[in-house]
């Protein structure tokens, strides 16, 4: 696999908002989408992992922000990222741009952590 495709997987969707209340109102819809994906995987008897979710971007671009932009890197639990974006929009309102990048395309860390042959700087951890 090409390194660039690991770092920049294809974005599933990019939802942009002009004002905070629109972003906040959308979050139940987005969270239902994430829960629906998990439910479908479970119904098929599959274990749900972060990589099963799309790489999504949610962004708030208010007309006159006066604070520094806030970038949230999600994907290590997409629902947690969504909840963080919602809380940031509630707390900051239209005072700053807020971007959530759901980095669900990053390969699973679990497989590496569970590998009995893993090495760190030549020292076996098993």
- Give one DSSP letter per residue of the chain, joined into a string: --HHHHHSPPEEEEEEESSHHHHHHHHHHHHHHHHHHHHHHHHTTPPP-GGGS-EEEEEE--SS--S--EEEEE-SSHHHHHHHHHHHHHHHTTSS-EEEEE-TTSPPSHHHHH-TT-EETTEE--
Q: How confident is the model at residue 87 (pLDDT cuts 50, 70, 90)?
A: very high
- Indicate whether 33 belongs to any domain: yes
More confident residue, 78 or 5: 78
Structural domain including 73 reads: 9-106
- Indicate whether 15 belongs to any domain: yes
Give mean pLDDT, residues 119-124: 56
- Indicate whether 111 belongs to any domain: no
- Indicate whether 30 belongs to any domain: yes
- Indicate whether 1 belongs to any domain: no
- Indicate whether 126 belongs to any domain: no
Q: How confident is the model at residue 97 (pLDDT cuts 50, 70, 90)?
A: very high
- Indicate whether 97 belongs to any domain: yes
Q: How confident is the model at residue 112 (pLDDT cuts 50, 70, 90)?
A: low
pTM value is 0.80
**Number of structural domains in the chain:** 1
- Indicate whether 19 belongs to any domain: yes
Residue 119 has pLDDT above 80, yes or no: no
């Amino acid at each position: 696999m090409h390194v660039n495709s690991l770092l920049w997987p294809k974005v599933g969707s990019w939802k942009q908002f002009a004002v905070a209340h629109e972003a906040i109102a959308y979050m139940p819809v987005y969270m239902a989408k994430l829960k629906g994906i998990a439910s479908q995987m479970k119904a098929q008897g599959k274990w749900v992992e972060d990589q099963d979710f799309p790489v999504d971007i949610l962004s708030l671009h208010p007309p006159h922000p006066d604070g520094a932009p806030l970038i949230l890197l999600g994907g290590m639990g997409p629902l947690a990222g969504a909840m963080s974006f919602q809380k940031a929009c509630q707390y900051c309102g239209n005072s700053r741009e807020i971007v959530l990048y759901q980095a669900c395309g990053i390969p699973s860390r679990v497989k590496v952590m569970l590998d009995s042959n893993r090495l760190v700087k030549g020292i076996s951890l098993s």
